Every structure is written in C-alpha cells, then in structure tokens.
C-alpha cells in the first residue's frame, strides 16, 4: 500500500530544516519501503505558505524547498475519478453533520482512489473520511 503525505508532515519537516530526501528516508524508516507521493493540493498549500512568508530569506528557502519537492516526489493530480469521489464523501459526511476541510477532503479522496493511506499529523480530519487508512508518523 502506498502513502500520500499530508501537508502537515511536509511543513513540520521543512520547519525542522529537513530536505526532501531526509523526509523520504524518515517516512521509509517508519513505514518501510512503499510508494510515497503527495497530492497537488499540498503544492497549493505550500505555495500559499511561500506567499505568506514575512521575510525574503524565508520566502526563498520555502520556494527552493517546494521546487525540490516537486522535482523529487510523485505528485498526484485531482482526476475526473477523484473529483466525484470527493463530492460524494463531502455530501454524505455533511448530511451526517461532519464538516471536512476541503483540502483534506481532496487529499483523502486521492489516497482512497489510489488505494493508499495518508500520513498526517492532523489525524482528526482524515479519520472522518470513511474507509481511509490514516497513519501518524
């Protein structure tokens, strides 16, 4: 089973000064040899963080990190199969009174469509997605 890294895993590692290869090595130590990727939604969230950086040096470090991430990791798009799956999950969960943050919904639906688990530090949001396997590193 493959693994989609949630944005929270990436942000925490980046803030600790870890490179993308170091992040991948850490995940493989924790989870074993498995296919690891990110949703394109994570790129959106990280790019948002670049623009919110208050210092130019911080902005440049974040840009370099995201470029390295995009060059190194498999990025999974939102496909015509993932989009309706996310809509169904969102509609059903809203009907039950469960609100799923849109970004997490898309990342989770991507993982489900691929048959992958999600690694996150934000377990609460992802556990609300039926059928999704959630790993906390």
Convert the pLDDT of each residue in 60-111 to its tens digit: 999 999 999 999 999 999 999 999 999 999 999 999 999 999 999 999 999 9
How far is CA 9 from its chain centroid? 8
pTM of the model: 0.93
Distance CA 45, CA 36 (A): 18
Beta bridge partner(s), residue 119 = 5, 135
Distance CA 73, CA 35 (A): 10
Q: What CATH code is assigned to 3-135?
A: 3.40.50.1010
């Amino acid at each position: 089973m493959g693994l989609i890294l949630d944005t929270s895993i990436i942000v925490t590692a980046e803030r600790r000064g870890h490179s993308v290869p170091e992040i991948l090595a850490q995940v493989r130590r924790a989870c074993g040899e498995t296919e690891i990727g990110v949703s394109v939604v994570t790129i959106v969230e990280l790019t948002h963080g670049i623009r919110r950086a208050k210092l130019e040096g911080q902005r440049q470090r974040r840009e370099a990190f995201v470029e390295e991430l995009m060059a190194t990791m498999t990025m999974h798009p939102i496909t015509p199969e993932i989009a309706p799956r996310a809509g169904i999950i969102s509609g059903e969960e809203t009907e039950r009174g469960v609100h799923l943050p849109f970004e997490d919904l898309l990342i989770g639906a991507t993982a489900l469509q691929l048959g992958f688990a999600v690694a996150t530090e934000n377990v609460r949001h992802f556990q609300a997605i039926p059928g999704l396997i959630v790993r906390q590193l």
